[in-house]
Amino acid sequence: MRIILIYITVWAFYPNRYTDTMHTSNRRAGICAAIALLPFGAVAEEQPAIEEIDTVTIIGKKIDAADIPGSAHVVDTEELRAYVNADILRVLRSVPGVYIQEEEGFGLRPNIGIRGSGLDRSARIALLEDGVLIAPAPYAASSAYYFPTQRRMSALEVLKGPAAVAVGPRTTGGALNMISTPIPDAMGANVDIRGGDHSTLDAHLNVGNRGERVSWLLETVQAQSDGFKSIDGPVGGDTGYDIEDYMAKFQFDSSPTSRVYQSLRVKLGYTDQFSNETYLGLTDADFALDPNRRYAASANDTFQSEHETYQATYVIDTDANWRGEVTAYRNDFQRNWYKLQSVAGQSAGNALADPVAYATEYGYLTGATSADDDIQIRANNRTYYSQGVQAKIDWDLNLGDVGLLLSTGIRLHKDEEDRFQHQDGYRMDNGTLVLTTAAAGGSNTNRVSDADVTSLFVDSKISAGDWIFTPGVRFEDIDMTRYDYATDDPTRANGPTRVRNNSVQVVIPGIGALYRLNEDWRLLAGVNKGFNPPSPGSSANEESSINFEAGVRFDNNALSFEGIYFVNDYDNLVGTVTDSTGGGGQVGDQFDGGEVIVSGFELAAGFGLDAGSFRVPLALKYTWTTEAEFENAFESNFDPWGEVEVGDELPYIPEHQLRASAGLEVQQFRLNLAASYVDEMRTKAGQGAFVTAETVPSHIVWDAVAAWNFNDQFSTYVKVDNLLDETYIASRRPAGVRPGLPRTAYLGFTYRL
């Protein structure tokens, strides 16, 4: 066993930085060979009855969240099936304290924030799939240009406050753990196929079996759409996407006669995406005339990516008081977003913000003939890897009348982002883009950023009478390096022109407390340190805050209610320039925002009326952000902030968010209806009256699903997103106004064996 774990560790931490295909294949074959050597069933005694699952949860079942001394939410399988959403942002509308920014209407590259953490590319929260960090490079480049396919998920866990400390590293807002489809309890298959507007076709299929010692699951999602926007010009083209997602899981368990339960779980995945997506929006005037228009200058904008995941987890469990788990993981991600960068030397954002002052540039964007190279399109070509080993031991200790659950863990992690970008020149020729200058690879950006991390945590749950305490502490030791290479040295033979290093060592404590007033009522409170690491080579300080929360929870099965007041008190808020933020600054630059206060109330209520012949579930989720303001004045080149005055409000944080849902279940028929309201929000820091050009107006969107079960196995459903066809602005960044998804209807069929 020790030899095998050492082998996996060596594989995970010492790859060749630029490995060819043969070496990659050999490395993958090596881990599979190591897996095959694992011995099972060495002890021929009766194995205890231990219930094991092949997915990693942090909270556990939805009912377990009631006794967590902190704010934690589970979106379970039943809730996901009610609305069969392929868009993660629609799912997260049901979680209070979570802020989202829509982008292209399909949720392909989500922008998610928690309690004022910042939304851009979900880079300010910890993203996990089955308990493993899943962002392309979680430390070196955390922007989530890859995001797991929502259709593969069986549940979601959102952790805030002290509950996020054990997960790390980004504890300012919290964590989102996506739980993939588990291996079924017996031989089974699921098929869900639907088609709809915009030539959309979406198929989700899986088949698996749980055996006495060998279990498996095979799964795929195949999705495509022509999109809902129309591109100007004679060429036109669709604005949709094609996604292929494949997942395989294998589980090898020790003999039922073994005294000690051992299990090896292997998870392999591949995702390919091609989407005709752009950052180019519209002027307000053009949006009013046709919100689903796309300018001719965006005709060549496309996003292509491939993602591979490899995981091997060893679990040991006994009838004693401890359980151990070790996971070795590797994620590889390649993407190239070929998209409009500038027009006649100006940013598209400037041209759309003032199309009169930039009439020439606006003309080129909309199809007027330009000079050669006036349209610049950048190939944002980047490769990433993220790999490591994480292990934890859970101890179940009883000290008289005091129960103690203790978890200790370690994560050894490396990740890297490699930017090798070029920028081509085009001429706009009466609505058609004509290539005039083809640039060499790496001639625009040629750099590598990496991170080497050791993190440790100790987490505990102390139960004494009606009290539950969860003290915990996390330690992060992060070494980061950025290598800048000359743009005329594509092979990097001359070595880096500049090397920048920075390191962070931080202790992140937290504690939660819960008191059971009776079987139904609970009081809770917590405090923890918020932390976000800086980027490699950054001159900015680490992001830090002190986070508080306190609330009440009620649940008597028929009615549930939770109300939590939270305060995130920042010593230093950090802003990071990305292509998606827009404005000035170099991509990757970071800015210190200083002291910021974010506070508010999170309310969740649910009620189920069960009259025997029918059932009516009702739910309400509400977030009231009472304050989200800078407490100091400064100037920055970070476009969402700019020149900040004391009292300026943070961008993209609405004061009010509300989601109300209702259902009706009558024998074989089911109807679910949800309304999501988002208050107006600023797109740039400011105060006082809202300025139209820097505001996303309030809007309300209704979604509905009606389903009919022919029998226990076969059913059909009609799903309508944006039922009332609300036309609304989803975002104003990085360049112009972009619309939300218009009314989109689907007809689906499901079969469960």
Q: What is the pLDDT of residues 6-17, one digit of tens each?
A: 333 333 333 333
**% the chain with pLDDT above 70:** 92
Residue partners of 59: CB distance under 8 A and separation at least 6: 65, 68, 72, 74, 157, 159, 163
3-state secondary structure of 79: helix
| Neighbouring-strand partners of residue 474 | 457, 508
SS3 content of the chain, % helix, strand, coil (to 5): 10, 55, 35
Take residue 266 and report the two structure tokens written for it.
Answer: 């292997």
Take residue 156 and report the two structure tokens written for it.
Answer: 């979601």
CA–CA distance, 234 with 191 (Å, rounded to integer): 40
Taking Cα atoms as reference points, which of 576, 550, 578 lies closest to residue 563?
Answer: 550
CA–CA distance, 466 with 514 (Å, rounded to integer): 8
3-state secondary structure of 425: strand
CA–CA distance, 56 with 67 (Å, rounded to integer): 19
pLDDT tens readout for residues 620-672 = 999 999 999 999 999 988 889 999 999 999 999 999 999 999 999 999 999 99
CA–CA distance, 330 with 415 (Å, rounded to integer): 9
pLDDT band at 56 (very low <50, low <70, confident <90, very high): low
pLDDT band at 583 (very low <50, low <70, confident <90, very high): low
At residue 683, does pLDDT exceed 50? yes
3-state secondary structure of 270: strand
- The CATH topology of domain 38-752 is Maltoporin; Chain A (2.40.170)
What pLDDT sits at residue 190?
Answer: 97
What pLDDT sits at residue 51?
Answer: 40
pLDDT band at 55 (very low <50, low <70, confident <90, very high): low
- Tokens 């994480």 correspond to what residue? 390
Under a CB-based contact definition with an 8 Å cutoff, are residues 711 and 702 in contact?
Answer: no
pLDDT band at 54 (very low <50, low <70, confident <90, very high): low
| Neighbouring-strand partners of residue 592 | 574
- Kindly report the backbone phi and psi dihedral angles of residue 215, in degrees, each rounded to the nearest multiple of 5, phi listed first: -130, 155
Report the chain's mean pLDDT, rounded to a whole number: 91
b (16+ CB within 10 A) / e for 631-659 = eeeeebebbbbbebeeebbbbbbbbebbb
What pLDDT sits at residue 588?
Answer: 82
Take residue 523 and report the two structure tokens written for it.
Answer: 């009081």
pLDDT tens readout for residues 684-741 = 999 999 999 999 999 999 999 999 999 999 999 999 999 999 999 999 989 999 999 9
What pLDDT sits at residue 58?
Answer: 74
What pLDDT sits at residue 170?
Answer: 94
At residue 267, does pLDDT exceed 90? yes
What is the chain's alpha carbon radius of gyration, rounded to the nearest angstrom? 26
pLDDT tens readout for residues 117-138 = 888 889 999 999 999 999 999 9
Q: Is 566 exposed, middle or buried (0-12, 13-18, 19+ CB in 10 A)?
A: buried
* Least confident stretch, 51-55, 99-103, 689-693: 51-55
What pLDDT sits at residue 399?
Answer: 82
At residue 48, does pLDDT exceed 80? no
CA–CA distance, 96 with 549 (Å, rounded to integer): 14
pLDDT tens readout for residues 458-472 = 999 999 999 999 999
pLDDT band at 584 (very low <50, low <70, confident <90, very high): low
Return the DSSP state at 498: E
Beta strands at 174-180 and 126-129: parallel, antiparallel or unpaired: parallel
3-state secondary structure of 444: coil
Omega of the bond prior to 169 within 30 degrees of 0, cis?
yes
pLDDT tens readout for residues 207-231 = 999 999 999 999 999 999 999 999 9
3-state secondary structure of 489: coil
Return the DSSP state at 640: T
Under a CB-based contact definition with an 8 Å cutoff, are residues 661 and 671 in contact?
Answer: no
Upper half-sphere CA count for residue 539 (Cβ side, 13 Å): 2
Q: Is 248 exposed, middle or buried (0-12, 13-18, 19+ CB in 10 A)?
A: middle
Strands (E), 465-579: 467-484, 498-516, 521-532, 543-555, 559-572, 574-576
Taking Cα atoms as reference points, which of 478, 590, 594, 480 lies closest to residue 540?
Answer: 590
pLDDT band at 69 (very low <50, low <70, confident <90, very high): confident
CA–CA distance, 443 with 579 (Å, rounded to integer): 18
pLDDT tens readout for residues 168-211 = 899 999 999 999 999 999 999 999 999 999 999 999 999 999 99
Take residue 309 and report the two structure tokens written for it.
Answer: 């995941």
Tell me, yes or no, if the pTM score tops 0.85. yes
Q: Is 208 exposed, middle or buried (0-12, 13-18, 19+ CB in 10 A)?
A: buried
Return the DSSP state at 440: P
- Tokens 């990097």 correspond to what residue? 492
